Chain A
Amino acid sequence: MRTALIRYSPLLILAIAWQLIAHFELVSSTALPPLTQIGGAWLELLRSGDLLKNAAPSLYRAGAGLMLAVAVGAILGIAMAWWRPVNVALGPLVEAFYPMPKSALIPVTVIWLGFGDGSKILLIFLGCMLPVTIGAYNGARSTEQVLVWSARCMGAGRLRMMWDVVVPSALPELFNGIRTALALAFILMVTSELIVAREGLGNLIGYLGANGSYAAMYAVVLTVALMGFAADRVYQALTQRLLAWRETGLA
């Protein structure tokens, strides 16, 4: 507890500095509303239901897109590592599209699926799939040959070997890829909602900003930032537990 306090004290210092600067109006209070006021605005948003009403579709979009990306990406990556034809066919495409800035797809997904949930889910799916694919591919490729031979020796069929040998040894890299995808999912969720949407947290931020309710806007911005942070922490704790069987921790 005490070590945590010392460790995170810089954040506390920043928060106090923020409050003091805003309190004494060193910068204009529209540009930097005091934290207490932001807290009040946050409670107000919570009470009126605006926060929950907009958080639900946002999280649904990010969750659905990410789930799809993980499922398809993992299968694709492992298939690329283990069946040569798949690799030859898809490898160059993955390589060509990996560096593509995914925010460029926002207008296209809107053309295809309109302004609702579908276009955001598609965008998040497309954006998150490649990091997962590459993670799964690198992980599956690095399976120790000895393990594969022993499994084969003990009479494991192709699918059985896939499930019992290749998938577990691909997990650490795959989890790393999913972590990147998780961060990307939040980024794409907010960006797409800021640019085109009728509801969602990104849209709420844009709406409040355009209205001049800056304290409320700050409240939503900080909420999304903290949600991204919390999701990452929960994910890390989860994967560490799932990988507890490994001899060494994640390097």
Chain B
Amino acid sequence: MNTARRLARAAAWGAAHLGGIVALLVAWELFARSGAVTMFMLPPFSAVAERIWTDAVGGTLWINIGLTLYRAFAGFLLASVIGVGLGVAMARTRLARWFFDPIISVGFPMPKVVFLPVIILWLGVFDVSKVTMVTMEAIFPVVTATVLGIEGVGHELIWSARNMGAKDRELLWQVLLPAAFPQIMTGIQVALPIALIVAIFTEMAMGGFGLGGVMMQASRFADSRGVFAGIVEIAVVGYFAVLALVVLRRRLLRWHQEASAPSTV
């Protein structure tokens, strides 16, 4: 009985979720076919889906998705690793704190994407500069979340670990990082959509392949089907990338009390 009810609720929840998307797609199709807008301004969804299908069968879709994800994730991973390292250093040592604190607090609210021409000047127009741009923009939320997370670790935990003879390294890996992990993960979750935004923007600005580059090319040739196909592809990729992190968080934080709380995501 209980399971049946839970299943029914899950089904209703899923239907409600899909319902909104399906309604939007149907409205898109009808509106595009109604003649209120031209095919150029809004091609019907069926035409866009057909375009995506040809790209998928031809294989270019997968190459472009792969390239975009590679750039976004390379920068995202760099930002996560460097960001956590820097955050730990800032939270634990005074010198690092003194030096990086103003840089982070001034740099965080800046739109780092304006440095694109400078980065191109230094590193060229290929993957190195794209990945650098992604890292530059995505690292800030990771650093601030790590600093806050490590600082928020209770003194009792640290004192007990020290009391039981934990060395610095053991303290870091067995106490500080696990205890701060939920907050660090939140920072990383903020960083991922930023990484995708910047990856797609750099592809648009520098050209070449990748979802953003292909979309920009379609736009130059006034190929609005290609543009809308790009939007749909990018929306789907972004959705699943973010979802993957939510699932990963639930996995990694199974031991944490937040896992037992009802999820709102």
A15 to B21, CA, bound (A): 51
Interface size class of A (residues with CB under 8 A): 35 or more
**Of A97, A189, A194, A217, which is within 8 A of B235 by CB?**
A97
**Of B109, B118, B211, B235, which is within 8 A of A228 by CB?**
B109
What 1/0 flags go to B159-183 for Cβ under 8 Å of A?
Answer: 0000000000000000000000000
User: B114 and A225: CB pair below 8 A?
Assistant: yes
**Of B17, B120, B196, B205, which is within 8 A of A101 by CB?**
B196
B65 at the interface (CB under 8 A from A): no
**Of B40, B102, B112, B200, which is within 8 A of A111 by CB?**
B40
Nearest B residue (CB) for A221 = B114
Nearest B residue (CB) for A187 = B111
Since A107-B230, A111-B40, A112-B41 are in contact, a sample of 17 more A-B pairs with Cβ atoms closer than 8 Å, ordered by chain A residue number, is: A89-B23, A92-B17, A98-B193, A99-B238, A101-B193, A111-B219, A189-B111, A191-B113, A191-B204, A195-B204, A195-B205, A205-B117, A209-B117, A217-B117, A224-B114, A225-B112, A228-B111
Given known pairs A92-B21, A187-B197, A224-B114, the reply for A10 and B99 (CB within 8 Å) is: yes
User: B113 and A233: CB pair below 8 A?
Assistant: no
A96 to B114, CA, bound (A): 28
Most chain B beta-carbon neighbours within 10 Å: one of A31, A99, A108: A99
A153 at the interface (CB under 8 A from B): no
B228 at the interface (CB under 8 A from A): yes
B100 at the interface (CB under 8 A from A): yes
User: A92 and B20: CB pair below 8 A?
Assistant: yes
User: A111 and B41: CB pair below 8 A?
Assistant: yes
Residues of B near A189 (CB, < 8 A) are 111
Residues of B near A106 (CB, < 8 A) are 204
B241 to chain A, nearest CB (A): 7
Most chain A beta-carbon neighbours within 10 Å: one of B122, B197, B228: B197
Given known pairs A183-B111, A225-B111, the reply for A194 and B215 (CB within 8 Å) is: no
User: B212 and A100: CB pair below 8 A?
Assistant: no
B101 at the interface (CB under 8 A from A): yes
User: B20 and A100: CB pair below 8 A?
Assistant: no
Residues of A near B118 (CB, < 8 A) are 217-218, 221
User: A191 and B41: CB pair below 8 A?
Assistant: no
Q: In A32-46, which residues have CB < 8 Å from any B CB?
A: none
Nearest B residue (CB) for A223 = B114
B103 at the interface (CB under 8 A from A): yes
11 A-B Cβ contacts within 8 A?
A: A10-B98, A91-B17, A93-B24, A101-B238, A107-B219, A191-B113, A191-B205, A195-B204, A202-B114, A225-B110, A231-B109
Nearest B residue (CB) for A193 = B114
A64 at the interface (CB under 8 A from B): no
A186 to B41, CA, bound (A): 27
Most chain B beta-carbon neighbours within 10 Å: one of A88, A89, A95: A95
A23 at the interface (CB under 8 A from B): no
A204 to chain B, nearest CB (A): 11
Nearest B residue (CB) for A7 = B102
A202 to B114, CA, bound (A): 7
A224 to B110, CA, bound (A): 8
A43 to chain B, nearest CB (A): 20
Q: In B1-38, which residues have CB < 8 Å from any A CB?
A: 16-21, 23-24
